[in-house]
A and B are shown apart, each in its own frame.
Chain A
Amino acid sequence: MRNLFLFLAKYYGFFVFIALEVVCAILIIRFNHFQRTRFLSSAGFLSANVLNAKSSVTDYFSLTNQNTELSEQNAALLEQLHNGTGQVRYIYTEDSCLIEEGMAPSIWKGTTVDTASTRKLYKFIPAKIINKTTLKLHNYLTINKGENQGVFPQMGVMGPNGVVGIVHKTSANYATVMTVLHKESRISALLKKNSHFGSLIWDGKNEFLAYLKDIPTNVSVVPGDTIVTSGYSDFFPEDIMVGTVENVDREPGSNFHTIQLQLSTIFRKIEHVYVIDFKDRDEVRALESNNINE
């Protein structure tokens, strides 16, 4: 027994090292697995407040660009209003607006959508990014809206130019967003010209390029084709811009294209986003969970 204590005393530094690294390993596994983190993130109270204060200073440096971008959006909205595309219903509240589906996507893309054909209601919650990463393998944004403003996990997030990501974790007034630039990210997207759909993934290498998987080789795809969201998941309405095809490849022996696409959202520039709240989400999820139980 005495020898054991002597042994422990002699090498205690090593045991402290091993013990702390085991704690680190547990933390890494516990907190970095997809959608299992709940706290200790930048949605946390302490860090979010510091980042918010920092953001309020750094915002001044990009005011000109932000103003230009916002006025462009306003112009597109006005154009939409006066062109009168179908029966568009919209209600403004303090800091969000209710828009019939079909209205919102066309704002960003400058095309018209027949709103009469769809009945789903989406609420768009404007939010500002207070922290972000773009160059890691798993990139997140932190936004200044949280549960008090109606932002909850699993809601889609879009920017002025297209898809941004999906809300990951929320606190009272902040939320983190798992961006398209995340190795675990999967978003349902389709080729606009022929409606073949696949899933959008990112390989962790280039912040401007992503891949569309599961498009069979008998479908013709050429560089320049437009890729939009499919609307088959409840994260995003259909027809939100994702990107354009950059390069089409086929691996030997594979029945699927490897489609490389240029993302329409430039993550390092984006500062304002819209969280998409699908009003009938709970109803749709409840209905779909019945299918699984049967």
Chain B
Amino acid sequence: MNNVIFVNATRFLVLLLIQILVLNEIELHNFVYPFIYPLIILLLPFETPRWLEMVLAFFLGLLIDIYANTIGFHAAASVWLAFIRRGIMQLNAPAGGYEPEQKPVMAIMGFNWSIIYIGLGVLLHHLVLFFIEASSFEYVLSTLAKIGVSTLVSVFLMMLYQFITVPKQ
């Protein structure tokens, strides 16, 4: 149990620093806003209590917001992601259901499961985030384009992170 907490706390810190110090600085063509911090929520163990997931997501989002001067935007999108991730798991459940000791990481669930899970989660997260930021449907097309491109880049970075951090057998 302590080990689970340690692993998740380390991941929390590492991904948060990558997000704040590196990814927040990336500016490409007005369209690409890569985010890696949603992975912290997506990789929480299956048996995490639902309220804890959402409270963690709230404070994680708020931390990102404080550095980006966008109080509430990331918090709202993160809580939404924490709420919806159970639904994505149901949609994406393997034939025999989930085993109790499994974790939603690529090393255990496999590449295909992982990319569908992360792809859907990030898309729904970015959808909420960018529409809150635009705070209107005035620029729907450019907002959708931002969401599409940013989702691709975010998913790529998250999968890359999972490839790099595969635990040694």
Contact = CB atoms under 8 A, between A and B. Distances in A.
Interface of B: 20-21, 27, 30, 33, 50-51, 54-55, 57-58, 61-62, 65-73, 75-76, 79-80, 82-83, 86, 132-135, 139, 142
10 contacts: A16-B51, A17-B54, A24-B58, A27-B71, A27-B75, A31-B71, A32-B71, A40-B65, A46-B66, A140-B69
B83 A44 contact: no
Contact of A25 (B55, B76, B82): B76
Q: Which 7 residue pairs are nearest across A and B when measured between Cβ atoms?
A: A28-B72, A27-B72, A31-B71, A24-B76, A13-B50, A17-B83, A20-B79
A176 B69 contact: yes
Nearest to A139: B69
Contacts of A25: 72, 76
A25 B77 CA distance: 11
Contacts of B55: 16, 20
A24 B75 contact: yes
Nearest to A14: B83
Given A20-B54, A41-B71, A268 B27 contact: yes
Interface of A: 12-14, 16-17, 20-21, 23-32, 37, 40-42, 44, 46-47, 50-51, 54, 131, 133-138, 140, 176, 204-207, 268
A134 B86 CA distance: 36
A204 B138 CA distance: 11
A21 B71 contact: no
A180 B76 CA distance: 27
A205 B142 CA distance: 9
B119 to A, nearest CB: 22
Given A24-B76, A24-B79, A42-B67, A137 B133 contact: yes
Contact of A16 (B50, B61, B76, B80): B50
